[in-house]
Structure 1
Amino acid sequence: MGGISIWQLVIVLVIVMLLFGTKKLRNIGSDLGGAVKGFKKAVTDEEKNKPIEKDASDVIDAKVEKVEQEKPKS
């Protein structure tokens, strides 16, 4: 009851085409497509150039000490 039917969408599209014309709608569509393509390219380039970060859980803090053992006498 409150939803938009297919006929209402068709009527709205016809009115928009009459107001703006097909050439202007085509230009708007190509501009919008170019913007989306540029955004996707920027996102993928950013992910490729992002340096690898190590988690703090991967790092182990340890203290190393050298212990000398006596050699057994033979």
Structure 2
Amino acid sequence: MARTVNPLKFIQEVRGEVAKVVWPTRREVVLTTIMVFIMAALTAVFFALVDILIRAGLQGVLTFFG
């Protein structure tokens, strides 16, 4: 069964919900952005080290059996 939606009521409800949103402060945005960049850098370093270790291990195994 199809419902008819009143566009004006919908817009009023959307405005009411948006008014409830707690927007972050500029300081919070800056700090979380910095934390994201730090975590991305740490993750990149971790996976680079894992890649180097796996590559060295495989080269060692292939050299031993090659």
The normalised TM-score by structure 2 is 0.49
Structure having greater relative contact order (Cα 8 Å, sep ≥ 6): 1
Could you say which structure has the higher helix fraction? 2
Bigger radius of gyration among the two: 1
